[in-house]
Structure 1
Amino acid sequence: MTSQTPMSLLAPQEKQMHVAQKGQLRYMRFGLNGGWQGALSLRFPTRPVFPYQRAFEYLSASLKRSPQRFLSLGVGTGTALATIQRLYPQTLLYGVDIVGEVIETAIQHFQAPDHSACQYYQCDAIQFVEQTQLRFDFIFVDVYLEDRIHPIIIQSSFLDALEGILNNKGTVIFNLIAKTPPVYPYTLFLKYSQTLFRSRIWLPVGMPFIEGNLLCVLSKDANPFQFHSDYLRNIRSRANFYYNWFDQLECKLWMHRLQILNS
């Protein structure tokens, strides 16, 4: 399907999830007029569509240690799970989403790892964190209520529970919508996180000084990443992966922001 008009791939239901296609992009949304929850490039399926997803891959590929267990809180289109599967084939994958249809659709339409490669849980992500007996080396928190983050994920009680399921030197990345520099309630979130984690990174991946996607990295390791100049060359050499000049510019911009904001 190459029409520029969005075409439904699933039967519409009121305020339910939809998969549609626009040109070479297949995307997920809730409700006919809802915002995009994730997308897949049909031309370059292993290339993340959104800047925050590319930044997540950049950070993930730069981890000093390969994670043994990775948890994605909020599955969406499964991009984070697919990224970790591609970067670290031996890592055990876990995905949590409150909507079972999202999980199945991510597998069927967006190349998320299937049930043989990932342990999926259909449940509330916050309850999962509070109740699970599992421990993880790397966690991605991407929990949204339609077009805004779930307010509980930046509360101290959730940070306490999250810290409790992270292994020694474990790292968690939050996908947030916020301003830079951070304002209330993120200032409280960051202040409290300082009592639980050894390092914090605040990385805006959209336009600076306006509200947009950013990745907040909290780690029990003082230096969880090893950024290296070979990153772009190595990532371009992977089969079926596509990188262009803008992505290289993005990486340089992210590195500059990391140096300025977290020095």
Structure 2
Amino acid sequence: MRRYGGTVIFQGMDDDGLIEVVEEGVTRSLHFGSSAKQSTLDISRPEQLQLAYTAAMMSALLFQPAPANIALIGLGGGSLLHFLRHHYPDSEIDVVEKRSDVIAAAKRFFQLPDDDKLNIYLGDGSDFIRNCRASYDLLLVDAYHDDGMDDATDGTHFFQQCHQALSEQGVMSINLWSSHASRLEQSLLAIRECFNGHCLRLPVKGRGNIIALAYRNPQTGNLRTARQRAAVMEQQLELPFGIFLRDLRRHNLSLFSRLFS
């Protein structure tokens, strides 16, 4: 069956709705009943990030380039996990996904990694963050259903928990996406409040996504240091960190004018 410009190789249904896997050549994408791609993986090179928003989420590495403990809220097809496991093989990674059928699809169709430094939990991301005992150097939040952000991972209470779950030099990168601009702004305001203003916004070019980067320690967001490491990281990780830094500066002028003065 043709759908979303490709061939549907799997279609399932759980209590949260439709789960579809669509194949286009060497790529596979996960959909939740709409044309929006939740994950896309190149089966021949799974460590390469195919979607602009997932690449933009990795801009957090400008501020925390050596995360030893990582948490992912939302598995999807596991594209972020593949990238991190490839480039940070010694890091401990916890992944939380609330839909068991999504985990099953990731294992069956998206070459989900399996090693002793990777822990995959079935459950609610908000519950996990509230009860976690680890301090994370990198916290990635990408939890969605078919028409927008998961309510459980959006709002002041959740962002306060994320603040507490970070290490002193930790960074949260969250994918904000909604068809309602007012909700995006509300989410950004809530993050800024919970992180004492230590929050940067990075709109994803050509998309409706905004990536928010938030951190506990104001020194973590030192843009001079980030600028110095951007070129090296761009070669090592094959991501456009120079462009990320330029766009971060453009969209956070008041903060950057102080940091670059």
Shorter-chain-normalised TM-score: which range? 0.7 to 0.9
Output the TM-score relative to the length of structure 1. 0.79
Matched, 1:81 2:81: yes
CA distance in 2, matches of 1:192, 1:27: 31
Tell me the equivalent position of 1:72: 72
Match of 2:244 in 1: 254
Match of 2:210 in 1: 214
Q: Which residue does 1:229 correspond to in 2?
A: 231
The answer to whether structure 1 residue 99 and structure 2 residue 99 are counterparts is yes
Whether 1:7 and 2:3 are equivalent positions in the alignment is no
Which letter does structure 2 place at the counterpart of 1:20?
V
Instruction: Report the alpha carbon displacement of residue 43 of structure 1 after superposing the two structures with TM.
Output: 4.4
Match of 1:239 in 2: none
| Aligned residue in 2 for 1:193 | 191
Contact 2:46 2:79 in 1 (8 A): no
Aligned residues: 241
Correspondence list, 1:9-158, <5 A? 9-10=9-10, 12-13=12-13, 15-31=17-33, 33=34, 35-60=36-61, 62-114=62-114, 116-158=116-158
Residue 12 of structure 1: how far off its partner (Å): 4.2
| Superposition deviation, residue 131 in structure 1 | 2.6
Judged with a 3 Å threshold, the aligned counterparts in structure 2 of structure 1 residues 254 and 114 are, in CA distance, closer, same or farther, namely same
Q: Do the aligned partners of 2:63 and 2:171 also contact (CA within 8 Å) in 1? A: no
One-letter amino acid matched to 2:194: L
- Contact between 1:107 and 1:114, CA under 8 Å: does it hold in 2? no
Matches of 1:5 and 1:52 in 2, distance apart?
Answer: 20
- Structure with the higher helix share, 1 or 2: 2
| Superposition TM-score, scaled by structure 2 size | 0.80
* Counterparts in 2 of 1:64 and 1:73: CA distance versus 1, 3 Å: closer
What SS does the corresponding residue of 1:47 show, helix, strand or coil?
coil
Deviating more after overlay: 136-145 vs 149-158: 149-158
RMSD of aligned alpha carbons: 2.8
Q: Is the 8 A contact 1:27 1:38 kept in 2?
A: yes
Q: How far 1:18 sits from its partner (Å)? A: 2.2
State the 1:206 CA deviation.
2.2
Percent of residue pairs identical: 20
How far the C-alpha of 1:140 sits from its partner, in A, is 0.5
Q: Secondary structure at the match of 1:9?
A: strand
* Residue 176 of structure 1 pairs with residue 166 of structure 2: no
Q: Would the alpha carbon gap of residues 162 and 234 (structure 1) be closer, same or farther in structure 2, given more than 3 Å must change?
A: closer
**2: CA distance between counterparts of 1:224 and 1:84?**
20
Gaps of 5+ in 2: 257-261
> Cα gap change, 1:166/1:81 in structure 2, threshold over 3 Å: closer, same or farther?
same
1:171 touches 1:221 (CA, 8 Å); kept in 2? no
Cα deviations across residues 8-37 of structure 1 (Å, max 9, x unaligned)?
Answer: 333544743222212222111234x55322
Shift of residue 76, structure 1, vs aligned partner: 0.4
Give the direction of change, closer, same or farther, for the CA distance of 1:35–1:86 in structure 2 (3 Å limit). same
Deviation at 1:128, TM superposition (A): 1.7
